[in-house]
Amino acid sequence: MRTFLPCAILLLSGSGLMGANALELARSFFGPEEKLKAVTSIYYDGKIVDPSGKGSGTFRLYLKKPYCQRMEIQIGDVRTITAVNGAEGYRQQINQTTGRGRIGILHPTQVEKIIVNTVENLYFLKGTQKRNGNVSFLGKADLQGRECYKLKFIYRDTLFYERYVDLENGKILSTEDERGVTVYQRGEIYSGGIRFSKSIESFKDKKHLNTIHFQKIMVNAPMTDIFFDFPKQ
């Protein structure tokens, strides 16, 4: 038996029972409540494809509760690592051929954005509880011929996600952030009894930016906190 009372409490005024039901439906699409609550970390391994359909790089994402994230992108000879340990973060670029590279400290606003992205992925629509945010029910809407619920996950006025949730089965069809970047979820892949998207397509102003095809997703993969800290010189 699933309970979603905490989610209902976070909904803004005017949402009512329909908003609570929409959030419950969307969360249940991922999997059983006990599976979602048992998640402590997630590892994604994928391939980046450009708008022409050609492979352009590799993508690895490490997430660990409560607020740790490390993303590794390799395009050509250049490997870019962006990591946050829950309090501070860095971005490092390394040329794999020459061994040369550079590293910079992330601004606090960048750190907060990455932390929010982390809780969004690890807490399955309950991330706002971890950062004093809230969820607003925006009613029903149509997306590509599908009737949807529209939910807005608000962390602050300049940091939010709007999601279209399939009214029939609870699948999140698209997510748009405060920058106007829209991500469409495609296909399915299972790990640890939880349903994830097989690929995600990113657009801005109707322009296709890229697609990431996930080749492997591991729930509760072993990760140490030090993995997300600044590299030792």
Tens digits of per-residue pLDDT, 93-137?
999 999 899 999 999 999 999 999 999 999 999 999 999 999 999
CA–CA gap between residue 3 and residue 214 (Å, rounded): 30
Query: How far, in Å, are 6, 67, 140, 150, 172 from residue 26 at the CA level?
Result: 14, 23, 14, 11, 7
Q: Is residue 99 part of a domain?
A: yes
Q: Is residue 63 part of a domain?
A: yes
* Report field, pTM of the whole predicted structure over 0.85: yes
**Number of separate domains in the chain:** 1
How many residues would you count in the chain?
233
Q: Is residue 168 part of a domain?
A: yes
pLDDT tens figures, 126-154? 999 999 999 999 999 999 999 999 999 99
Q: Is residue 233 part of a domain?
A: no
CA-closest candidate to residue 36, choices 103, 126, 157:
126
pLDDT at residue 89, rounded to an integer: 98
Radius of gyration of the chain (CA): 18
Q: Which CATH number goes with the domain that contains 14?
A: 2.50.20.10
pLDDT at residue 16, rounded to an integer: 62
- Domain hosting 168: range is 5-228
CA-closest candidate to residue 190, choices 22, 9, 32:
32
pLDDT tens figures, 177-205? 999 999 999 999 999 999 999 999 999 99
